[in-house]
Every structure is written in structure tokens, then in C-alpha cells.
A and B are shown apart, each in its own frame.
Chain A
Amino acid sequence: MMILFGIISIVTVFMVLCVFYMIVVEKTRDIGILKSIGASATQIALVFLAYAGVIGLVGSLVGSVLGWRVVRSINEIHDWVVQVFGWRVWDREVYVFDLIPDQVKFEDAVNIVIVATAASVVGAIIPAIRAARMNPVEALRYE
């Protein structure tokens, strides 16, 4: 479970890095504008890190609520899939349990939200540093 969670976190960090790299490129001129009116490198970096933090927090909260709802109804969903498509994913003759486990541990959900938010911020660090180090004149000339 921990290995799976770790792999997902690494993939998340890499994806956030890619997305934020593109956002920084797209916002190059705006970064130049902010620097021309006196924004410091730290302020520029914080804008992107805060953005990543908010996206990570909101995304993981929404994901957790949706995930909780799906897990709580997983047996009903499974029955519906069997009824409509005839696909039996959870074969009661193979597994020990009759029903798919549908309990959500609150502490696990909280940990996932924290790690997902942190992964989002970590993924944005390199693009944020790149944005912070931009030369204002070159940024303003960017097309």
C-alpha cells in the first residue's frame, strides 16, 4: 500500500512539475510585469507555490469527498455493473469476503490530503525557482 502510494506521489510531483513549467512559460510576460513594479524573486516564487498549494488542497479535498462517496457505495456500484454489463469484478468465490470492503479511515483520508497538497507544492518548486530567477527585461520581451 505504501509503495503504491509512494509511486502515485512521485507521479503527481512529476505531473505538477510539467504543468507548472508550462504555466510559468505562459505567464513569462506577467512575471516580467510584476518584476518591473518591484516584486522580489521570493514573492514571484511564492505566487506559484501558493497556487500549487491551493490547487493541491482543493483537488485533494474534492478527490477525497468523491473517493469517500464511491467507496461507501462500491458494493451497489458493483451490483449495478454486474446487472447492466454482466462484469463480475469481485468474485465472491475467489475472495475471502462476500462484500468489497467499503470502510474509509478518516486518518488515511487526512494523510492523503496532506501528502497530495505537499506533492503539489514540491512539484511546483523547480518552475517557481525558474520564474523567480527570470530577468525582467527578457520576460517582458517574451512572445
Chain B
Amino acid sequence: MSKHANVILEARDIHKSYWLGQIEVPVLKGVDLEVVEGEFLAVVGASGSGKSTLLHVLGALDTLDQGQVTFEGVDVFAADESYRNQLRNRRFGFVFQFYHLLPELTVLENVLMPELVGSSVVAWLSKADRSEETGMALLEQFGLAHRAHHLPSQLSGGERQRAAIVRAVMNQPVVLFADEPTGNLDATTGRQIIQVLMNLHRGGQTIVMVTHDQEIARTADRTIRLTDGRTRREG
């Protein structure tokens, strides 16, 4: 298979601006990007360079002003909203800097949430037990089985981020997006989280990670720098 055939996610000439009242603030000014199946891609750049915005657009979490994002040959923003919902539920997984776990739910319930959201009530009732087993097995794999019935507020930062990773991979996504996954953690815990992502990558997981930390970016297969709203390949 040629390299081009392995490109699963592609961004072409992405433009995105924010509005501060009447003032337009351009963030992305023509970003081009390709994500190859199975690779670990790091997007680096200074604070405010638009890294997170790019990740949100690639992950269909946010809209774009101009350009095209293609996933497995489908123009993501030309398709309807339900397609993007399905992408976020079944094909993409997200890990955020601030974990973003639902505070009233236990770790296991958080992990099962993508499965619940993607199912009808009838389908969920028929597979709830099986999903719970899968969730527990994943928590076991990530060393969180003993925390399954705890609330996120009872967990340490590293445990919360691991729980967020388990939730992100629950539906076996094609691409895992990580937005500054170590940004809210101390150095040691941050390294552990990167190790978790590396292990997932070794298992074949495609990962797109945004970070401002050059050392963390070096763990990726390929790094892209975002400067002045445009991408530049580093290695």
C-alpha cells in the first residue's frame, strides 16, 4: 500500500478565525496536514498559536471558515451533523488537558458514556452488561480497576487523565486526539501518561497530540510546528 493510501485524515487550506466583538482574530491561516494510519503525530507551537483550534477542527469538534477536512475520503464538513456526531462517537477519541470527566458519574460510568451515547435505549439494555465488562477490562488494563466506582474528584490528576484515556479508547477509535494531555500534570505523572499513549500507539493506535513541550513531542513519530497559523514539518 502506498503512503498516500494510508492517509486517513487530511486537512487542506484550513482557515479559522475568532471574533472578539467586531475584531477578527485569525488563528489558522491555511493549514495543510496529513495523518497517516498508525502514526503518532505531534503538533507543537507557542501558546496561542492555534494548536488546540486545529485539533478541534480536525476532530470535528469545531467548524472551519474555509478549507476541507477529509476523513477516510469523506469531506467531514460537507457531511451532515449526524455524521460528525458519529465520527466523535465511534471513529475519534478525545483526551483533554483538563480531563473533562463528568463529575457526578463514577469512573466506570464515564468510561461507558460513549457507548451509551452511541446506542439506542433498547440496544443499550441488551448490551449494558457486556459493555460494563469491556469497560472494566480496559480499566484493569490501565491500572484503574480499583477506582472504577470512585468519582473523578476522588482521583489524582494522573488517574483522571488515564480514566479520560480509557473513555477515549472505549469505542476503539481510529484516531485519538490528545490536547495537551500532560499540561495539567507534574513531570513524573506526565511521563506516565505519555507512556500510556506510547503503548496505545505500539498497539496500532493513530494519535494526534498537541503539546507545547518539545521533549514530549520528541516521543512522536513526526512533529509539525504551527507558526503564525501555518504548519511547518519538523521531523
Contact = CB atoms under 8 A, between A and B. Distances in A.
A84 interface: no
B89 to A, nearest CB: 2
B117 A41 contact: no
Contact of A36 (B61, B86, B103): B61
A40 interface: yes
B62 A137 contact: yes
Contacts of B85: 38-40
B99 to A, nearest CB: 10
A35 B62 CA distance: 11
Given A36-B88, A37-B94, A38-B117, A136 B81 contact: no
B230 interface: no
Interface size grouping (class) on chain B: 20 to 34
Which of B62, B85, B96, B114 has the most chain A CB within a 10 Å cutoff? B85
Interface size grouping (class) on chain A: 10 to 19
A38 B100 contact: no
Interface stretch (A26-34, A86-94, A101-109): A26-34
Given A30-B102, A140-B96, A140-B100, A37 B62 contact: no
A37 B114 contact: yes
Contacts of A36: 61, 88, 94, 96, 100
Interface string B81-108: 1100111111000101000111100000
Contacts of A37: 88-89, 94, 113-114, 117, 167
Contact of B88 (A38, A41, A43, A140): A38
A135 interface: yes
23 contacts: A29-B100, A30-B102, A33-B101, A35-B61, A35-B88, A36-B94, A37-B94, A37-B113, A37-B114, A38-B85, A38-B86, A38-B87, A38-B118, A39-B85, A39-B117, A40-B81, A40-B85, A41-B81, A136-B61, A136-B62, A137-B56, A137-B62, A140-B96
Interface of B: 56, 61-62, 81-82, 85-90, 94, 96, 100-103, 113-114, 117-118, 167
Interface of A: 29-30, 32-41, 43, 135-137, 140
